[in-house]
Amino acid sequence: MSLKTETIIVRLIYLVVVVGVVAGVWHLFKIKPRADGRDRIEQVVSDMVARHNASAQWSERFVDYSIQINGGHRPIYTIDVETALIANDPRPILFYGGLVDVKKSDAEYCVVFSTVRHVDITFVLRCDPEQAERALGQPEGLYAVVAAISDIQWSKFKVDVGHSRAPHVNFVNTFIANGVCLDFSFAGRNYNPWHD
């Protein structure tokens, strides 16, 4: 092998090593903020749960959009949601959802969140003006919310526009939970609290 060929091979190996090191360092710096962000969000949520003595386990009873019973499945009914959100544990709940609306009626403010993780629930929550203002200043994404739920209502159907021009009527039970927003925090657009 000539000296020129050996020099080229050594330079190529050196280039590959440098590119590998640079790519590795770049990858670490890219991943670290995500991990730091996840840790920060989880700490904020943990603090909210502790501060309000909130229950985060209420949704565990809903594995899917139905309940397993006697070897089969049945739909989730209003009494199931009432039991999970109000009757089983009188503490406030923690849920994750998207901000749907902020509204004011007379002197009362409301924030509206929606979640479809295990059961389709729209949370209509009274809030103070500062919470409403804070919600207005946040981007679209997922929120961690602590709320005290007072009552549940059932919605007969949900209309989804979908991909076709004609509306699609979905007959999955949907629920409206009314209550008070105790606290919320923006979790982000890509945060997944369920680690699926």
Residue 123 CA, distance from chain mean position: 13
Q: Does the model's pTM come out above 0.85?
A: no
Give the pLDDT score at 163.
59
CA distance 143 to 145: 6
Please, are residues 173 and 128 in contact by the beta-carbon 8 Å criterion? no
- Of 3-17, 35-49, 94-108, 162-176, minimum mean pLDDT range: 162-176
pLDDT tens by residue, 126-183: 999 999 999 998 888 899 999 999 999 987 655 555 555 666 555 566 899 999 999 9
98 contacts: CB under 8 Å, gap ≥ 6: 113, 114, 115, 140, 141, 142, 143
Average per-residue pLDDT for the chain: 80
Q: DSSP label at 55?
A: B
pLDDT tens by residue, 71-94: 888 888 888 889 888 877 788 999
Phi, psi angle pair for 135, to nearest 5°: -65, -40
101 contacts: CB under 8 Å, gap ≥ 6: 110, 111, 112
